[in-house]
Structure 1
Amino acid sequence: MNYVIINGSPRRKNTWKMVEQAKKNLNGNFEEIHLMKEKIPFCNGCFKCILESEEKCPHYDKIKEILDKIKWADGIIISCPVYAMNVSALLKNFFDHTAYLYHRPEFFTKKALVIVSTAGAGQKDVAKYIDETLRHWGINRTYKITYACGGKDSIDSKNINEISQKFGGDVESGKLHNPKLGDIVFYNVWRTLAHSENSMEADKQYWIKTDLINNDFSPEIKLNPLKKLFSKAMFFILKRVMK
């Protein structure tokens, strides 16, 4: 198995200790990306990745290197400390550069492990935000490890071991899980917009090129009958609302 680690911490303290403990329970090859070293310029909000294509981003070369490693990986590990009750600026800046993936999800066969530490509070909210972002990318399933260390140089090895073992086992199984209902709703929002005359050209071309526009969900995922029916119903309703 191949794993890519995206480290959103500028340091290698408790959050990184958690990553190293999790790695002990995973079998495979690891590629580490430390966002501090990547020196990605701040997203300037030009909107070109959404309106024209991700290739028009002025920082595309930097972002493409990371996304190529995500495409290579079977499992993704994203680690981040809590800074001012949110993700670090390093990770937020990277996420800002991937905003187009909210419109054009593509990582439907990937699974992710989110690792968050804090000296005080906010770890669950930060992990939830990262999870939501990854689900908009299309990530099939996300596992979360959070830990409040209280300012001490310590980690909760037992919890890390239990969750990282589940994550690794799921990655190795190759099983693809049915999406949540909310993910199906968002999928059909963008699918419907790709059908409309008001669709942004980059979105329309992506949905047509991948043939997602003609599928109830990513074809790699076999929806159970109820979710397949739900997806068809959402598409029908959204087409009527958005026409």
Structure 2
Amino acid sequence: MKITVLHGQMHHGSTWHITQLFINALQNETAQISEFYFPKDGPAPCIGCFQCFLKGENYCPHAEAVQPIAASIEASDLVILESPCYVYGMSGQLKSFLDHMAYRWMSHRPHPSMSGKIGLCISTAAGLGSGRTAKDMQQNLFYWGISKLYRYSVNVSAMNWETIDPKRKARIEKQVSTMVSRIQKSAGAVKPGLKTRFLFSIMRLNQKGNTWNLTDRNHWVANGWLPAGKTDR
């Protein structure tokens, strides 16, 4: 299994430790794991220039930082996003990278490999908000076209991993083990769900009548999702 992990922070707090529990449980002699830490490995904030939409992702002024991460995601079987809850949301540095991936949403140029991938979103909070944070990250993976999605969120009632109550920590470890088993059973048998197929069909209709962004439309034609020929008017 090839796994790409996007860490929404540099420090090794509760979210990082729980992510390591998942990675260690999934790791075997054939696993290939690529990890990216933000902001160190990420791009500068998106400047809204629209070049990725209108000309292609390589025209992004930050493509040199974005595309190696995008390539790792596209080559992976499992994509993990993880971030602590920062003011009821993911970290700004992870959000900054996800902003750069807007061209991969189903409304633009979804990658054909996405429908066969598994996504996992992990978040913790000292107080409240971990569930909302994990759901926000999961939304991005859904709109990329990843249709088998898992999320794990927990409010740990502690400022760091070392001070989490031992009983709570044991419960976390048990929950992680259960979710890992579900992920392993899903591997190699992922198919787009009804919600994904429905949204994709709506986006295909939109692209059929797309006369303003041929970069997007040509992507759909090249992947066989639309017939070649003149754009409908």
**Which residue number in structure 2 is paired with residue 43 of structure 1?**
46
Are the equivalent residues in 2 in contact too, given 1:193–1:199 (CA < 8 A)? no
Q: Are 1:129 and 2:133 an aligned pair? A: no
**Which residue number in structure 2 is paired with residue 109 of structure 1?**
116
Distance (Å, rounded) in 2 between the aligned partners of 1:159 and 1:5: 20
Residue type matched to 2:12 in 1? Answer: R
Which of residues 177, 181, 197 in structure 2 aligns to 1:161? 177
Distance (Å, rounded) in 1 between the aligned partners of 2:135 and 2:42: 26
Aligned residue for 1:81, secondary structure, equals coil
- The TM-score with structure 1 as length reference comes to 0.82
Distance (Å, rounded) in 1 between the aligned partners of 2:92 and 2:137: 13
Which of residues 200, 204, 224 in structure 2 aligns to 1:191? 204
Are the equivalent residues in 2 in contact too, given 1:6–1:33 (CA < 8 A)? yes
**Which residue number in structure 1 is paired with residue 34 of structure 2?**
31
Are the equivalent residues in 2 in contact too, given 1:191–1:213 (CA < 8 A)? yes
Residue type matched to 1:116 in 2? Answer: S
Which of residues 167, 170, 175 in structure 1 aligns to 2:189? 175
Q: How does 1:90-105 map to 2 (within 5 A)?
A: 90-102=93-105, 103-105=108-110
Aligned pair in 2 of structure 1 residues 42, 82: CA closer, same or farther (>3 Å)?
same
Q: CA deviation at 1:197?
A: 4.6
Are the equivalent residues in 2 in contact too, given 1:51–1:202 (CA < 8 A)? yes
Q: Which runs of 5 or more structure 1 residues have no equivalent in the other structure?
A: 215-241
**Which residue number in structure 2 is paired with residue 139 of structure 1?**
146
Q: CA deviation at 1:22?
A: 0.9
Q: Which runs of 5 or more structure 2 residues have no equivalent in the other structure?
A: none
Q: What CA deviation, in whole Å up to 9, does each residue of 1:62-89 have, x standing for no partner?
A: 1110011112211111111110101100
Distance (Å, rounded) in 2 between the aligned partners of 1:165 and 1:8: 25
Distance (Å, rounded) in 1 between the aligned partners of 2:101 and 2:138: 14
Q: Are 1:56 and 2:59 an aligned pair? A: yes
Are the equivalent residues in 2 in contact too, given 1:113–1:142 (CA < 8 A)? yes
Distance (Å, rounded) in 2 between the aligned partners of 1:43 and 1:162: 37
**Which residue number in structure 1 is paired with residue 70 of structure 2?**
67
Distance (Å, rounded) in 2 between the aligned partners of 1:86 and 1:117: 11
Distance (Å, rounded) in 2 between the aligned partners of 1:88 and 1:101: 21
Tell me the matched-pair count: 213
Residue type matched to 1:133 in 2? Answer: N
Are the equivalent residues in 1 in contact too, given 2:5–2:35 (CA < 8 A)? yes
Distance (Å, rounded) in 2 between the aligned partners of 1:12 and 1:55: 32
Residue type matched to 2:20 in 1? Answer: E
